[in-house]
Amino acid sequence: MIHTWNVDTNKYSAITDIPGAGEPIVVWNGFASGQSAKYSLENAKAMAPETPDLLVVNHGHGTAAPIGDVDDGTVFVAGACDSVGD
């Protein structure tokens, strides 16, 4: 099951079910086109509504312009892990 993020509503709006055998795999795809790590951090609780087994953060191709200091990604990962752990 793949949940797809909507940047216009700041919530998940589409769910794609991919049938298969075994335990289900749930993907919360918080891809927010054109947004920075700051946007993802501000929406971290909504983007990861359950405590994940795996958290992948990638802002390498989300914007054409720099998103700020080099430490932005590190701050995001720490903040997101903190947020989802609550």
Domain ranges, ordered by start, for the chain: 2-85
| Residue 45 main-chain phi, psi, to 5 deg | -65, -40
Q: How far apart are CA 33 and CA 19, in angstroms?
A: 27
Walk along the chain (86 residues) and give the pLDDT tens digit of each residue.
Answer: 889 999 999 999 888 988 889 888 888 888 888 887 788 888 888 988 888 887 777 776 554 444 454 444 444 454 555 555 44
Q: How far apart are CA 71 and CA 46, in angstroms?
A: 23
Q: What is the pLDDT of residue 77?
A: 52
Q: Which amino acid is at 31?
A: F
Number of H helices, E strands in the chain: 3, 3
| Residue 29 main-chain phi, psi, to 5 deg | -90, 95
